[in-house]
Amino acid sequence: MAALAAVTLLSLTACATDEPGAGPSGGSSSSAAGSGTGEQSKFFVQADYDAELALLGATPTGPADKPWEQMLNPTMVDTATFRKAGPHKICFSNAALNNPWRQVGFKTMQAEVEAQKSRIKEFVHVDAEGKDQKQIADINDLLGKGCDALIVSPNTTATLTPAVEAACKAGLPVIVFDRGVNTKCPVTFINPIGGYGFGHAGAEFVSQKMKPGGKVLALRILPGVDVLETRWSAAKVAFDKAKVDVVGVEFTDGDPAKTKKIVDDYLQRYGTIDGVWMDAGAVAVAAVEAFQDAGKPVPPINGEDQLDFLKVWKDKNLTAIAPTYPTYQWRTPIIAALRILDGQQVPSPWKLPQPTITQDNLDRYLDADMPPLHYAMCGCTDLPGYPQRWK
C-alpha cells in the first residue's frame, strides 16, 4: 500500500505553492475592510477564531511541569490499529531549518529522540529547505523507507495537503505539527493554541498602548502558511475594532536587513510610527534597531520569546509583549508517535498551552547564559545535552 501511495504522490510534484490573493494579507473578503488592513484572509474562519480565543483562558490537563505533554480541551481518539512492537523507526519531513525558531525546535526534537533511545531504533530527518516541491518528493521517498510513523511539519498548507493525504493512505500513522494542512486524515495535529491567539494578543496590546487612531506598521514573514495567516487575520480584527490606522502590511522574509529598510522607509514617509505588530518575532530586534538608528522612540511592539528581543526589551525598557509559539511543541510529536505505536489514545487535535510574556513575568524568561537566538520556551532544560546542545 505504501508503494501505491508513493506512486500517486509523484504526480503531486507539479503542484504550485500556495499563492496569496488580493489584499495585503493575501486573501479574499470575509469581513469588512478596516483602515489599512485590507480584505480578510481566505484562511480566516470565525468559529476557529472564537475557539482559539476561548482557549487562551482554558486550564490544561496533564503534568504541571511538562507543558509539552499538556492538553487543552482534549478529544481523545483510538489508535489501537497502529499498535506494534518496538523499537521503532520514526521519520520526520521538516519544512525547513531556515530560522532560529526552527533550529532551536529541531535541537529540542533531537534531544527528545535521544531521551527515548531505548524505544527508537532510528530517527530519519529530511529538510525540505522551505521548498514545497522538495517536501512532496521527500514524503514520497520516506513512504518507501519502512517508517513506523511519519511526522510532518508542512512548508505551506494547501500545497502539502495532497502529499499528507497520500501518506495517510499508505497505512502508517501520520502526525502533523506546527503548521497545518487541509485534511483530517492525520492521527493528530499538534500545535499550541494557534495563530489567532498569537495575533490577537499582540495586536490588542499594541492597540491599547499606542495613541488612539495612531499609525501601525504590520510586519509579516511570508504568505500562505496557516499559522501566519491566522495571526494576521486576528490582528486585523483587533486593529479594525480599535480603529487604528494600519499604514503598511509588509513582508520581511525574516531578513533583518530588509526589516530595517522597511521600517526606515515608513519612518521617512510618515515621520512617526505609533505601533509595530509582527506575525513572528525573529526580526523584532532589527525593527527596534531601525527606530534607534533613526533617532526615533521605539513604539509599542510585540516580539516573541527569542532571547535577544527579551534582553533588548529589558535593557531599553520597551513597551512590549511577547506572544509565543513555544518551541517545546517539537517534543510532542515524538511523544505522540510512541503513544500511537503503543496503541494509546491521543488527543486530536492536540492543543498545547501558549503562554504570553509580559512586563510582569519578563524576568522569569531572561537567561544570560544562553545565546541571543535561543527561545525561552524551549522546554529543554531536562533533556540530554542541555545547555551545550542549544549553544
DSSP 82: G
Q: Residue 276 has which C-alpha cell?
A: 509595530
155 and 207: one domain? Answer: no
374 domain residue, yes or no: no
| 93 touches 110 (CB < 8 A) | no
306 and 286: one domain? Answer: yes
Q: What's the CA gap between 86 and 338, in Å, rounded?
A: 9
45 domain residue, yes or no: yes
178 and 277: one domain? Answer: no
Q: Pick 166 or 1 by higher pLDDT.
A: 166
Q: How many residues does the chain have?
A: 391
pLDDT in tens, 347-365: 999 999 999 999 999 999 9
219 domain residue, yes or no: yes
| 315 touches 305 (CB < 8 A) | no
pLDDT in tens, 99-153: 899 999 999 999 999 999 999 999 999 999 999 999 999 999 999 999 999 999 9
Alpha-carbon distances of 261 from 24, 105, 279, 287, rounded to whole Å:
18, 29, 18, 9
Alpha-carbon distances of 310 from 14, 75, 102, 301, 357, rounded to whole Å:
42, 35, 18, 12, 9
185 and 163: one domain? Answer: yes
pTM of the predicted model, to two decimals? 0.87
Task: Centre a 10 Å sphere on the Cβ of residue 376 and count the other Cβ atoms it contains.
Answer: 24
Residue 224: per-residue pLDDT: 87
Which is it for strands 215-220 and 245-251: parallel, antiparallel or unpaired?
Answer: parallel
25 domain residue, yes or no: no
pLDDT in tens, 207-232: 999 999 999 999 999 898 888 999 99
Q: Pick 309 or 224 by higher pLDDT.
A: 309
Q: What's the CA gap between 290 and 298, in Å, rounded?
A: 9
Residue 35: per-residue pLDDT: 59
Give me the domain span that covers residue 169: 75-192+327-353
Residue 41: per-residue pLDDT: 87
Q: How far is CA 347 from the centre of its chain?
A: 19
Q: DSSP characters for 107-150?
A: HHHHHHHHHTTTTEEEEEEEE-TT-HHHHHHHHHHHTTTT-SEE
pLDDT in tens, 258-287: 999 999 999 999 999 999 999 999 999 999
Residue 226: per-residue pLDDT: 87
- Give the mean pLDDT of 361-371: 97
Residue found by looking up cell 481523545 in the block: 76
Residue 5: per-residue pLDDT: 42
62 domain residue, yes or no: no
Give SS3 for 316.
helix
**Domain of 249: which CATH number?**
3.40.50.2300
